[in-house]
Amino acid sequence: MKITARDLTFDVVAGGPADGSPVLLLHGFPQHSGEWAAVTPLLHAAGLRTYALDQRGTSPGARPAEADAYRITECALDAVAVLDALDLASVHLVGHDWGAVAAWHVALRHPSRVRTLTAVSVPHPHASAYAYANDPDQRERSAYIKLFRRPGKAESLLLEDDARRLRALFDGAGVDPEVYVRPLLEPGALTAALNWYRAMSPLDLVGLGPAEVPTTYVWSDGDLAIGATAARACAEYVTADYRFVPLAGVSHWIPDQAPSALADAIVARCVTSA
């Protein structure tokens, strides 16, 4: 379906029982709402109604040109506006990668709209900042961000040799990279996706306190981007009921690689916090 919100048009994939408890799913980079394809049937079987959003930059009708338009606060407001358009007062919120960052911001800045939060791969923003400041391993893991923030250079490297480097991001994850790479070959699509990185600012952390909604954080020990320091620090920034679900032997691409384990964590959070 198409949802018009904030003068933008977002693509949303809805499914599950019409009367089910609503779940909003936010994808990450370099993916789209299709990353939830193996997870949503399991959520539907548990009686949940899902809405998988193609976020700003991914939906062709929601692709502003300016990098500053992709500030994470704007992306969080998109999610809230989509909830308004769907006439949903509150939802169970799930996000992976950049979608997790957006989900944290929705939960922290608009807590009345969030029944529960399940963050996948990326912890509370302050936990990420703590790890980057104090853990050399995390700084090394995050080094790729400097490249992604370089307009032109990142696109050139990622797209050369038939997008070899983009495809290589999914090596060993049991993922068909074409599902995610092909849409990024459309004119302007990769730049729009990278603009989430280019809009990053220290101001993003201003006003962010601990999460006060029931929260589950799912992390995998094979994640090349997020190390154990950040993952373990997440608990310090949640004051509500909190669960840490570590997955052994799983890469960063949890929704694709471990959909059953992830769905179990989501359902457990949604059901027990209902």
Q: What is the pLDDT of residue 80?
A: 98
pLDDT at 139: 97
**Separation CA 88–CA 222 (nearest Å):** 36
CA geometry: angle 201, 204, 210, nearest 5 deg: 150
- Say which DSSP state 206 is in: T
Closest by alpha carbon to 151, among 99, 204, 190? 190
- DSSP character at residue 125: H
CA separation (Å) from 71 to 25, 65, 203?
19, 13, 10
State yes or no: pLDDT of 274 exceeds 70: no
Q: What domains are defined for the chain? A: 2-272 (3.40.50.1820)
What's the pTM value of the predicted model, to 2 decimals?
A: 0.97
Q: pLDDT tens digits, residue range 241-264?
A: 999 999 999 999 999 999 999 999
Taking only the tens place, the pLDDT of each residue in 15-26 is: 999 999 999 999
Q: Is 50 exposed, middle or buried (0-12, 13-18, 19+ CB in 10 A)?
A: buried
CA distance 120 to 26: 10
Residue 73 is which amino acid?
T
- Per residue in 123-145, pLDDT tens? 999 999 999 999 999 999 999 99
Give residue 75's pLDDT: 98
In angstroms, the CA 45 to CA 64 distance is 37
Cis peptide before 151 (omega within 30 of 0): no
Give the per-residue pLDDT at 172: 79
pLDDT value at residue 272: 78
Report percent pLDDT > 90 for the chain. Answer: 96
User: Per-residue pLDDT for 230 more than 90?
Assistant: yes
pLDDT of residue 173: 82
Share of the chain above pLDDT 70, in %: 100
